[in-house]
C-alpha cells in the first residue's frame, strides 16, 4: 500500500468547527500558513490583500464565481506590475532610458513569481474521487485523475493548478503534430512539449555520423533528457537501430514510453532514468537541455530553467567520454539566454573548448512560434532576435 505523504492542513470552518484535509500541489508548492473559508460575498480587494499576506482562501461558494474572483485578482496583480514598471522606468530621470533586456527579464520573472504566489492562494476543496463539491463545478475528474492518479482522501488544491491540469489534459488529448514523425506526440502534465518544430527538423535532417551508418545494427544513439521521447523517436524512424534515452523526471519517462509505443518505435528505444548519460558509448548523442540558466520556481519549470546551466555544462563536459570513435554530439540550444544577458556566446564557446570538443558545423533557424512576433511581450526584443541552433560537436 502506498503511504500518502501529502501534508495535512487545518482550518476552522464558518461554524467554528476544526477541519483538516490533505494539501496537494503537483508543482510542490508548500501549503499556505493560514486558511480562511470564503465565498461569493468576499470582495476582490479584500481577497487580493489576504492572498498577498499569505492567507489561503478556501472557496466554498459558486465555482464560476471562484473563476471570476481569480480574474479580478489577475487584474490587481497586472496593475501592480505596471506600477512597478513605471517606477523602474522613471528611475529619477526626466527621460528614462528603456530597461535593459536583462532587467526586463528580471522584472518578468518577479511578475511571474508574484502571479503564482498570489493566485495560488485561491483554493478549492476536492473529494477523494477528484470531484469539486461546489455549485456549478464542471466534471474535472478525468483531467485530475490523469495527472494525479487515484487518491484515498478528500483534499485541498489551488484553482490555478486545476486550470493548468485541465489545459494540459486538453493538450495531451489533442497531441502535437510532428511533421518529421508523420504523427503526433502527446505531452503529459509538466513534460516539455515539442511545440517548436524547428529543432526537431534539425535532428530529422542532419547527416548521421558515418560511424553510426557503418556500424549497422551495433550502432547506438543516446538522447539525453528525452522529455516526450520526440528526438529518440525521430532517430529510431531514421533507422538508428538502438537508441538509449534518459531523463531524471519520472513523468517524462512514462510519457516517452507511451509516445514511443504509439509511434511503434519502442522496440528500438530503451528508456533509462539517469542524470545525463547512460552507461557505455554511442556514435551519436543528442541533447536539448533547458535553454535558460536560472532557478526554476517550481518543479514544473525544470525543463525550461537550468540553474547555472548545469545540464548544458554537464552534457558538454561529459560528451567526449561517452562518444564512440568518430562519434558526434548534437547540441540543440537557443540563444535567447544571450539576448537576455544570462549567458554569453563566449562562455558557451569556452565550455565547448574546455570539454575538448570542436564544432563541426552549426545550423540555425528563426523560431516560428507566435511569441516571437508578439510586440506586447515585455521580452519581445530578445524573442524576436532569438535563433535556435544545432551544434554538431566532436572530440578535438
Q: Which is nearer to ligand SAM, 275 or 344 (CB)?
A: 275
Residues with Cβ within 8 Å of residue 30, at least 6 apart in sequence: none
Q: Tell me how crowded residue 180 is: count the other CB atoms within 10 A of its CB.
A: 19
Q: Does 343 bind ligand SAM (CB under 6 A)?
A: no
Q: Which stretch binds ligand SAM (CB under 6 A): 4-12, 85-93, 156-164, 218-226?
A: 218-226
Give the residue, chosen from 144, 157, 198, 226, that forms a contact with ligand SAM under the rule CB under 6 A: 226
Strand ranges, E, within 268-322: 269-273, 282-287, 292-293, 305-306
Q: Does 235 bind ligand SAM (CB under 6 A)?
A: no
Give the residue, chosen from 303, 323, 340, 390, that forms a contact with ligand SAM under the rule CB under 6 A: 303
Q: Does 63 bind ligand SAM (CB under 6 A)?
A: no
Q: Does 134 bind ligand SAM (CB under 6 A)?
A: no
Q: Which is nearer to ligand SAM, 151 or 256 (CB)?
A: 256
Q: Which is nearer to ligand SAM, 89 or 254 (CB)?
A: 254
Q: Does 197 bind ligand SAM (CB under 6 A)?
A: no
Q: Does 329 bind ligand SAM (CB under 6 A)?
A: no
Q: Which is nearer to ligand SAM, 107 or 288 (CB)?
A: 288
Helix, strand or coil for residue 75? Answer: helix
Q: Does 259 bind ligand SAM (CB under 6 A)?
A: no
- DSSP string across 225-267: S-TTTHHHHHHHHTT-SEEEEEES-HHHHHHHHHHHHHTT-TT
Measured distance CA(389)–CA(300) in Å, rounded: 24
Q: Which is nearer to ligand SAM, 107 or 228 (CB)?
A: 228
Q: How far is the CB of 182 from ligand SAM (least distance, A)?
A: 17
Asked if residue 247 lies in contact with residue 227, where contact means CB atoms within 8 angstroms, the answer is yes
Q: Which is nearer to ligand SAM, 38 or 337 (CB)?
A: 337
Q: How far is the CB of 310 from ligand SAM (least distance, A)?
A: 7
Q: Does 335 bind ligand SAM (CB under 6 A)?
A: no
CA angle 153, 253, 216 (to 5 degrees): 160
Asked if residue 228 lies in contact with residue 187, where contact means CB atoms within 8 angstroms, the answer is yes
Measured distance CA(360)–CA(178) in Å, rounded: 27
Give the residue, chosen from 248, 350, 354, 360, that forms a contact with ligand SAM under the rule CB under 6 A: 248
Region for residue 102 given its phi and psi (left: phi exceeds 0; alpha: psi -120 to 50; beta: otherwise): alpha
Give the residue, chosen from 107, 158, 246, 266, that forms a contact with ligand SAM under the rule CB under 6 A: 246
Nearest 5°: phi and psi at 378?
-60, -20
Q: Which is nearer to ligand SAM, 132 or 244 (CB)?
A: 244
Q: Does 198 bind ligand SAM (CB under 6 A)?
A: no
Site for ligand SAM in 270-289 (CB under 6 A): 275-276, 288-289
Q: Which is nearer to ligand SAM, 31 or 278 (CB)?
A: 278
Asked if residue 81 lies in contact with residue 111, where contact means CB atoms within 8 angstroms, the answer is yes
What grid cell was written down for 312?
A: 548544458
Give the residue, chosen from 227, 278, 327, 367, that forms a contact with ligand SAM under the rule CB under 6 A: 227
Residues with Cβ within 8 Å of residue 157, at least 6 apart in sequence: 23, 24, 25, 123, 124, 126
Interface positions with ligand SAM (CB under 6 A): 192, 194, 224-228, 230-231, 246-249, 252, 275-276, 288-290, 302-303, 311
Amino acid at each position: 500500500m502506498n503511504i500518502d505523504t501529502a501534508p495535512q492542513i487545518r482550518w476552522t470552518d464558518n461554524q467554528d468547527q476544526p477541519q483538516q484535509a490533505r494539501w496537494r500541489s503537483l508543482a510542490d508548492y508548500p501549503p499556505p500558513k493560514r486558511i480562511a473559508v470564503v465565498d461569493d460575498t468576499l470582495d476582490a480587494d479584500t481577497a487580493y490583500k489576504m492572498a498577498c499576506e499569505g492567507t489561503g482562501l478556501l472557496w466554498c461558494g459558486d465555482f464560476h464565481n471562484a473563476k471570476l474572483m481569480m480574474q479580478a485578482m489577475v487584474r490587481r496583480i497586472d496593475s501592480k506590475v505596471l506600477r512597478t514598471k513605471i517606477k523602474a522606468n522613471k528611475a529619477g530621470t526626466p527621460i528614462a532610458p528603456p530597461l535593459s533586456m536583462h532587467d526586463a527579464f528580471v522584472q518578468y520573472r518577479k511578475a511571474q513569481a508574484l502571479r503564482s504566489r498570489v493566485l495560488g492562494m485561491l483554493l478549492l476543496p476536492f473529494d477523494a474521487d477528484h470531484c469539486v463539491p461546489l455549485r456549478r463545478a464542471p466534471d474535472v475528474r478525468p483531467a485530475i485523475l490523469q495527472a494525479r492518479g487515484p487518491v484515498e482522501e478528500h483534499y485541498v488544491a489551488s484553482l490555478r493548478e486545476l486550470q493548468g491540469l485541465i489545459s494540459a489534459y486538453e493538450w495531451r488529448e489533442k497531441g502535437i503534430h510532428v511533421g518529421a514523425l508523420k504523427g503526433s506526440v502527446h505531452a503529459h502534465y509538466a513534460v516539455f512539449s515539442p511545440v517548436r518544430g524547428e529543432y526537431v527538423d534539425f535532428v530529422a535532417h542532419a547527416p548521421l555520423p558515418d560511424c553510426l551508418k557503418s556500424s549497422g545494427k551495433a550502432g547506438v544513439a543516446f538522447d539525453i533528457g528525452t522529455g516526450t521521447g520526440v528526438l529518440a523517436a525521430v532517430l529510431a524512424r531514421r533507422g538508428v537501430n538502438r537508441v538509449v534515452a534518459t531523463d531524471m523526471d519520472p513523468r517524462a519517462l512514462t510519457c516517452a514510453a507511451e509516445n514511443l509505443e504509439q509511434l511503434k518505435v519502442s522496440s528500438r528505444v530503451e528508456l533509462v532514468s539517469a542524470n545525463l548519460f547512460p552507461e557505455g558509448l554511442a556514435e551519436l548523442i543528442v541533447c536539448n537541455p533547458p535553454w535558460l540558466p536560472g532557478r526554476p520556481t517550481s518543479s514544473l519549470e525544470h525543463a525550461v530553467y537550468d540553474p547555472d546551466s548545469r545540464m548544458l555544462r554537464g552534457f558538454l563536459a561529459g560528451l567526449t567520454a561517452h562518444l564512440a570513435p568518430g562519434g558526434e554530439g548534437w547540441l540543440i540550444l537557443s540563444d535567447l539566454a544571450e539576448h537576455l544577458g544570462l549567458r554569453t556566446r563566449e562562455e558557451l564557446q569556452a565550455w565547448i573548448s574546455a570539454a575538448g570538443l570542436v564544432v563541426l558545423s552549426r545550423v540555425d533557424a528563426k523560431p516560428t512560434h507566435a511569441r516571437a512576433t508578439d510586440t506586447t511581450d515585455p521580452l519581445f526584443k530578445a524573442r524576436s532576435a532569438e535563433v535556435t541552433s544545432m551544434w554538431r560537436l566532436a572530440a578535438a
